[in-house]
Amino acid sequence: MADGTRRTDAGEEGAQSLRIDGARLWQSLMDLATIGATAKGGVRRLALTDLDRQGRDLVVGWFREAGCKVEVDGAGNIFAIRGGRSGRGGNAPVVLCGSHIDTQPSGGKFDGNYGVLAGLEVLRTLNDAGVMTHKPVGVAVWTNEEGSRFVPVMGGSGAFAKVFTLDHLLKQRDADGVSFGEALTAIDYAGDAPMGELAIDAYFEAHIEQGPILEREDKTIGVVTGALGQRWYDCVWTGQDAHAGPTPMEARRDALRGAARFIEAANALALRHAPNGRATVGSLQVSPNSRNVVPGRVTMTVDMRHPDDDSLLKMDGELREAAAAIARELGLECELRQVDQFPSSHFDRECVAAVRRGAQLLGLPHRDIVSGAAHDAIYVGRVAPAAMIFVPCKDGISHNEIEDARPEHIEAGANVLLQAMLARAVS
Ligand SMILES: [Zn+2]
C-alpha cells in the first residue's frame, strides 16, 4: 500500500472534508487520451485492439501504483480493489465505481474514460489522506461498452450481470470475423476471476451527460435517477414503382411519401409525451432509389424511448395507429415490427440520495436527470444497488472527436463520486 504509516480511520466528518486533486485527474485523462489520439483531438481506441491493450496497461499500472489488488475476469473486465477494515475484497462487499475505456471509432476523451479515472482519483485521494475505509473500495473497467467493434453493447457488464452468458459474449465476431474471445486472448486480458462473483455493496458511475440539459440549465451535477426504456422497430412501406412522368399524382402509391409522413408522425407523438419521450428514424432505404421512379418500397427504423414503461406502451400504440392511418390514406401497405425492447431502469433510491447529498454538501448546482443513453451502470444495477453522476459536456456533444468538458466540472463530478462512495464505505 502507498500509505502504510499514517493510515487513519475516516470519521464521517473527516471524510466530508476530503477533496480530489482536479489537476491530477485532468492530467490522467489527457495522458490516457494520447493512446489512440486522432488528428482532430479525439480518440479511436476500439475494444480489444492493441490500442485498448495499451490503454488498459497504463490504467492497470496506475491502479498498482495506488496499491490496489487488480483482478481480471473472463470477459476482460478489470477490478482494482483497495482494502478496507472489513476485508480486502475476498467476501467483503466492495463500494465500487467505474465505467469503460473503449471508445467509438471517432470518439472523445471523456466518454467512459472519465468514470474510470475519476475512480482512480478517488483511490489516490484516499491514499494521500491516509484514510482507511470500513468497506473496501474499488474501480471497475468494463469491456466493450460501446458495442462498435462487438455486439452486444455493454458486453462486459452484461456478462457480469448475467444478462447473457460469457460463452455467448466470447463467440461474437467483429466485421473481420475475429471473435471476442480471440481478441481478448490476443491482448492478454482473458482473466481468471470468477464471472459476476465480486460482491458489490454499491456501484457509482460518473459520466459526461452526452446531452445538452445540464449545460443549458447551468447545472454542474446531474443526479441520475434512471434510464429511458427503449423499443426498436423495423418498418417496411410498400406501394408501387411507377414512372415519374406518365403517372398522374392521384394514381401514385408512393412508399416514400408514407415514410415521410410517418417520420413526422413519430416526432409529433414523442412531443406529445414531452419532456422525456423520444422517437428517432435513423435509417432509411428507398427502392429503387432512382430520380425518375416513384418509390415502391421504403424500409426504415424507429427508435422510441421513455422513462416510464406505461407511457412507452402508449407511444407504441400511437405509432401503430399512425402507421395504419397513413397506409390507408395513401393506399400503401405498412409492416411495423418491434425488433428489440429494453425496459426503463430506476437506480437505487439510497445510492441516488447519496449522489444528491454529495452535490448538496459541496454546494454544487444540481438537478435530477434521466439518462437517455444506456451505460454499464444499468446492467450492474440489476445485481447491485447503483446510481450515476452526470457532468455537463460542451454543447451536449459526444460520440464525436470534438467531445469536450470543463476541468471544473470534471473535478466537481469526481468530488461528488468521492462523497457518495465514502458515505457507503466509512460506515
Ligand atoms: Zn460511456
pTM score, whole prediction: 0.89
Residue 114 alpha carbon to ligand 1 centre in Å: 9
Residue 304 alpha carbon to ligand 1 centre in Å: 20
Rounded Cα distance, 152 and 158, in Å: 8
pLDDT of 101 over the 70 cut? yes
pLDDT tens digit sequence for 179-236: 999 999 999 999 999 999 999 999 999 999 999 999 999 999 999 999 999 999 999 9
Rounded Cα distance, 369 and 375, in Å: 14
pLDDT tens digit sequence for 375-424: 999 999 999 999 999 999 999 999 899 999 999 999 999 999 999 999 99
Residue 422 alpha carbon to ligand 1 centre in Å: 23
Residue 371 alpha carbon to ligand 1 centre in Å: 11
Residue 294 alpha carbon to ligand 1 centre in Å: 42
What string of DSSP letters covers 398-425? -SSTT----HHHHHHHHHHHHHHHHHHH
pLDDT tens digit sequence for 276-316: 999 999 999 999 999 999 999 999 999 999 999 999 999 99
Nearest of 45, 15, 1, 32 to residue 115 by alpha carbon: 32
Q: Spell out which residues have Cβ within 5 A of ligand 1, the ion.
A: 111-112
Split at pLDDT 50, 70, 90, the class of 90 is low
Residue 319 alpha carbon to ligand 1 centre in Å: 30
Residue 360 alpha carbon to ligand 1 centre in Å: 25
**Pure H helices in 239-369:** 255-272, 309-330, 349-361
Judge whether 347 and 314 are in contact, CB under 8 Å.
Answer: no
Residue 312 alpha carbon to ligand 1 centre in Å: 24
Residue 186 alpha carbon to ligand 1 centre in Å: 24
- Grid coordinates representing 255? 412508399
